[in-house]
């Protein structure tokens, strides 16, 4: 190839690149005008995750001027939806409802690498509960009973590697007790079994057990977060009851595929921040046993989830049930 031919070829390439840059910039600036946004939820319609995501979608529509569709993709403890979004084009039109901390199956998308959190939308405290027949009324009174018979105080959770399982494992580590988890396929049957006394304890979210606590069918021994839950103000935190440094609970966030334009992630983060700061959102969270997240920058959200997951992975490895 002659020097003149090479020179002409590179001029054409340079011209093509130069012409494409304004188009790419315009596409980023126009997000989300091109098409409807879809938020994939890895759980069935009607649950707390679905309800919150649908409210978020309505509010995002008002702020963005674009249609926002909620697509339920249940299966594999939410992993199917996460995989779908992780493989999607990073153009801002396919988002994911993410929740954690959780130890997902091998090969599942890794949060912080295969999926990025754009913004927190909720935090959820967990409760340690037992049947009304248990003689203890709080964790202080329960611990001596567990020390006498640790194998008799296994705890039900909504599944191996779930947030509830991790919270129970942390309690066992803090108390230096060999407490065993009883993994269920979801929390519904776990609630039934702990109410009936089939399971001596359970670590579960507020929503499935709150009514049973208020009706006197379950005892709440403590709450896992560092602050009490307004809907159950008399239930003390674990830390208040002497478990120093204990803090566990769930978080929910909206995730995006890696490679999405930083400016568009920041725009999405700002919109979600407006929504989650509202009184309407606060009331919606309270109705499903969750609380508003603390305000964070987009970078702080990424760092929080990354560092949190590393710590829980380490606990899971120590406790013997693996990590991603």
CATH number of the domain encompassing residue 47: 3.40.190.150
Please tell me the pTM assigned to this model. Answer: 0.87
Q: Is residue 198 part of a domain?
A: yes
Q: Is residue 31 part of a domain?
A: no
Q: Is residue 314 part of a domain?
A: yes
Looking at the structure, tell me whether residues 110 and 162 fall in a common domain.
Answer: no
In terms of residue numbers, what domain contains 78? 37-124+250-319
Return the pLDDT at 128.
98
Looking at the structure, tell me whether residues 107 and 130 fall in a common domain.
Answer: no
Q: What is the 3-state secondary structure (H, E, C) of the chain?
A: CCHHHHHHHHHHHHHHHHHHHHHHHHHHHHCCCCCCEEEEECCCCCCHHHHHHHHHHHHHHHHHCCCEEEEECCCHHHHHHHHHHHCCCCCCCEEEEEEECCCCCCCCCCECCCEEEEEEEEEECEEEEEECCCCCCCHHHHHHHHHHCHHHCCEEECCCCCHHHHHHHHHHHHHCCCCCEEECCCHHHHHHHHHHCCCCEEEEEHHHHHHHHHCCCEEEEEECCCCCCCCCCCCCECHHHCCCCCCCCEEEEEEECCCCCHHHHHHHHHHHHHHHCCHHHHHHHHHCCCECCCCCCHHHHHHHHHHHHHHHHHHHHHHCCCCC
Of 216, 241, 266, the last residue of a domain is: 241
Return the pLDDT at 90.
97
CATH number of the domain encompassing residue 189: 3.40.190.10
Q: Is residue 218 part of a domain?
A: yes
Return the pLDDT at 26.
43
Return the pLDDT at 252.
97
Return the pLDDT at 186.
80
Q: Is residue 11 part of a domain?
A: no
Q: Is residue 20 part of a domain?
A: no
Q: Which residues of the chain have pLDDT under 50?
A: 2-27, 323-324
pLDDT digit string (tens) for 289-320? 999 999 999 999 999 998 999 999 999 998 88
Q: Is residue 88 part of a domain?
A: yes
Looking at the structure, tell me whether residues 45 and 190 fall in a common domain.
Answer: no
Of 218, 241, 264, the last residue of a domain is: 241
Q: Is residue 169 part of a domain?
A: yes
């Amino acid at each position: 190839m002659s020097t003149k031919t090479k020179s002409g070829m590179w001029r054409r390439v340079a011209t093509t690149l130069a012409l494409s840059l304004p188009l790419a910039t315009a596409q980023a600036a126009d997000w989300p005008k091109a098409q409807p946004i879809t938020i994939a939820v890895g759980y069935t319609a009607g649950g707390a995750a679905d309800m919150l995501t649908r409210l978020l979608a309505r509010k995002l529509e008002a702020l963005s001027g674009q249609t926002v569709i909620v697509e339920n993709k249940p299966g594999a403890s939410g992993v199917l939806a996460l995989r779908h979004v992780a493989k999607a084009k990073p153009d801002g039109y396919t988002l994911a409802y993410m929740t954690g901390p959780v130890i997902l199956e091998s090969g599942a998308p890794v949060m912080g690498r295969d999926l990025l959190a754009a913004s927190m939308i909720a935090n959820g405290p967990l409760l340690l509960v037992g049947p009304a027949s248990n003689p203890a009324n709080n964790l202080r009174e329960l611990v001596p009973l567990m020390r006498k018979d640790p194998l008799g105080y296994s705890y039900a959770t909504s599944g191996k590697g779930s947030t509830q399982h991790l919270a129970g494992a942390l309690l066992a580590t803090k108390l230096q007790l060999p407490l065993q988890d009883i993994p269920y396929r979801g929390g519904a049957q776990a609630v039934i079994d702990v109410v009936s006394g089939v399971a001596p304890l359970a670590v579960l979210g507020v929503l499935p057990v709150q009514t049973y606590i208020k009706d006197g069918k379950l005892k709440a021994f403590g709450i896992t977060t560092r602050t009490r839950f307004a809907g159950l103000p008399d239930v003390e935190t674990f830390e208040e009851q002497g478990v120093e440094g204990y803090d566990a609970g769930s978080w929910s966030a909206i995730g995006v595929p890696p490679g999405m334009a930083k400016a568009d992630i920041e725009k999405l983060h700002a919109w979600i921040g407006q929504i989650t700061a509202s009184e309407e959102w606060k009331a919606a969270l309270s109705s499903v046993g969750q609380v508003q997240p603390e305000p964070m920058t987009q970078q702080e959200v990424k760092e929080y989830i990354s560092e949190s997951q590393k710590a829980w992975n380490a606990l899971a490895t120590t406790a013997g049930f693996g990590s991603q």
